[in-house]
Structure 1
């Protein structure tokens, strides 16, 4: 059998730190944390409160998790970040990237100083988190332009449609493609065509707000989503964007015919049953712009 002394040795040898935390956020005991690559000795925390160590907003989050674990009695698993900006007494200057942890929080069936307590095991998952972020970026990003791809767009549009249904916030879409790009590809090569596509992508990044979404929909076709923007303002923005595109693409021409941009615009309407309905109307407006001579903006 393992006696108490041996059990204490086992707890001290744990690679990840394990904390006994009270409902009020007091560190009652600290075990483990022997993996020196990631952790420092945590014994100095005993007797302190979470609010003594980290700033109010982050401390409140920790207390909320402790309460959730105590109320549910079930194992709670949470991922969270900590940076120098969260810890009291540290300068805001320092590494840009926070440290990510996975917390496993379980209510215990005894009291410490008349308070309910939980076991909180913290595992450093920074490398795993960074890898997950990179993989997610790769799956959401168009390789050529570094704009979002169609997969990411469709996921975002589903969220925007829910927002529209719930709050009736105007959400507009622009769908556009490059006129005469095929002639450029055929006569000057796909490198020249890619250069024109990259020019369009760069202008999108420069002109859009942080809340806007731009994606390469496929080939030379792009979609821009403009939250909190009605049809009139979206069409005005589309005209400014078209002028910027045309100016930047004026050097791309074949036999005197320059590459230009045709744009279709639509806004989510109460009759739309999904974001696909809005996108179809914007696409119809784009084809109307093409039929009417190209290099123009048409609103659905």
Structure 2
């Protein structure tokens, strides 16, 4: 330092305090930018849609980037018009989605909302859409609802597959014994409470052991599969049909008179008689013996119907097979 230079004047306490405040503020700004960048990166990476809704204005005020990936729709259009979200909901689920959303006003939170959406590309997807009241309406301030929408399509498919495996006979794809009787008990209780008609049918493939011994078990499996297909075709919507034993099937007809049940059993008998099988150049057909019964005031359990139908089916066997016996 030469003899003519002078050291800078010391900072006044006020100026020193201002300088420190500016440095601190600059650091806070940088930290805020870093946090904002981290938060934005997280939102870009997750496949969960975060959203906020102004209930009074009925408009979306925030939606995360995942919206466009999950819904396959433009977020800008959604921010301009909440109808974009409503229009994406599968028509059969619109009423449920709207009603469950409105419940948030009463409960404060709704965590069990599930509904389907149709993406812009035509894909059908399942959503779990939880919502919560973030801010109650106050003077001059709107009521804000926030939510988390998650694509649960894969989970739904897995649940459906597990249910199918638990309730379906693997060979014939009809109901298995446990599921058939579980549903049949429910229908029986409803019929007795409402004094509604109900019919129960048992059928057994005639000479099935001979089929297996002559043509092999693989052909026997084909016979059972084709008979199950006849059951699906001959019965009404809402009727139950299942394989309850090796070559034994059962059907339950809710809200069905005895005469109508007989017509269905006869239709099933005809469909089975039309079946033709071919093995090693030989063709053959199959027949079934059926036992049919209807609910009476004396029946207190499903077991009584099952026992009567079973006895009638074996009576059909004794009388020459390929027939329907009513009990």
Residue among 230, 234, 240 paired with 1:203:
230
**Separation in structure 2 between the aligned mates of residue 275 and residue 33 of structure 1, nearest angstrom:** 55
The structure whose residues are more often strand, as a share, is: 1
Q: Using a 3 Å threshold, how does the CA distance of structure 1 residues 12 and 172 change in structure 2: closer, same or farther?
A: farther
Stretches of structure 1 lacking an aligned partner (at least 5 in a row)? 85-89
**Separation in structure 2 between the aligned mates of residue 24 and residue 67 of structure 1, nearest angstrom:** 13
Q: TM-score, normalised by structure 1?
A: 0.79
Quick check: 1:21 aligned with 2:56?
Answer: no
Task: Report the count of equivalent residues.
Answer: 287
**Separation in structure 2 between the aligned mates of residue 51 and residue 187 of structure 1, nearest angstrom:** 64
Stretches of structure 2 lacking an aligned partner (at least 5 in a row)? 1-27
- Contact kept? 1:266, 1:278, Cα under 8 Å: yes
**What pairs up with 1:1-300 in 2 under 5 angstroms?**
6=35, 10=39, 13-14=42-43, 15=46, 16-23=48-55, 26-34=58-66, 37-39=69-71, 42-46=75-79, 48-50=81-83, 53-54=86-87, 58-83=93-118, 95=122, 98-111=124-137, 114-248=141-275, 259-300=286-327
| Structure 1 position 23, deviation (Å) | 4.4
- Contact kept? 1:140, 1:152, Cα under 8 Å: yes
**Separation in structure 2 between the aligned mates of residue 211 and residue 203 of structure 1, nearest angstrom:** 16
| Structure 1 position 180, deviation (Å) | 1.1
**Separation in structure 2 between the aligned mates of residue 125 and residue 62 of structure 1, nearest angstrom:** 15
| Structure 1 position 213, deviation (Å) | 2.4
Match of 1:87 in 2: none
**Separation in structure 2 between the aligned mates of residue 207 and residue 31 of structure 1, nearest angstrom:** 51
Q: Using a 3 Å threshold, how does the CA distance of structure 1 residues 133 and 44 change in structure 2: closer, same or farther?
A: same
- Contact kept? 2:169, 2:175, Cα under 8 Å: yes
**Separation in structure 2 between the aligned mates of residue 195 and residue 109 of structure 1, nearest angstrom:** 63
The structure whose residues are more often helix, as a share, is: 2
**Separation in structure 2 between the aligned mates of residue 73 and residue 46 of structure 1, nearest angstrom:** 24
C-alpha RMSD of matched pairs (Å) = 3.4
Measured against aligned partners, the alpha-carbon deviations of 1:263-295 in whole angstroms (never above 9, x if no partner) come to 011223333333333223222221222233322
1:174 alignment partner, SS class: strand
1:142 alignment partner, SS class: coil
| Structure 1 position 79, deviation (Å) | 1.6
Measured against aligned partners, the alpha-carbon deviations of 1:189-224 in whole angstroms (never above 9, x if no partner) come to 212322322231222222222322221112100012
Q: Using a 3 Å threshold, how does the CA distance of structure 1 residues 197 and 59 change in structure 2: closer, same or farther?
A: closer
Q: TM-score, normalised by structure 2?
A: 0.74
- Contact kept? 2:290, 2:316, Cα under 8 Å: yes
| Structure 1 position 168, deviation (Å) | 3.1
Higher relative contact order (CA 8 A, sep 6+): 1
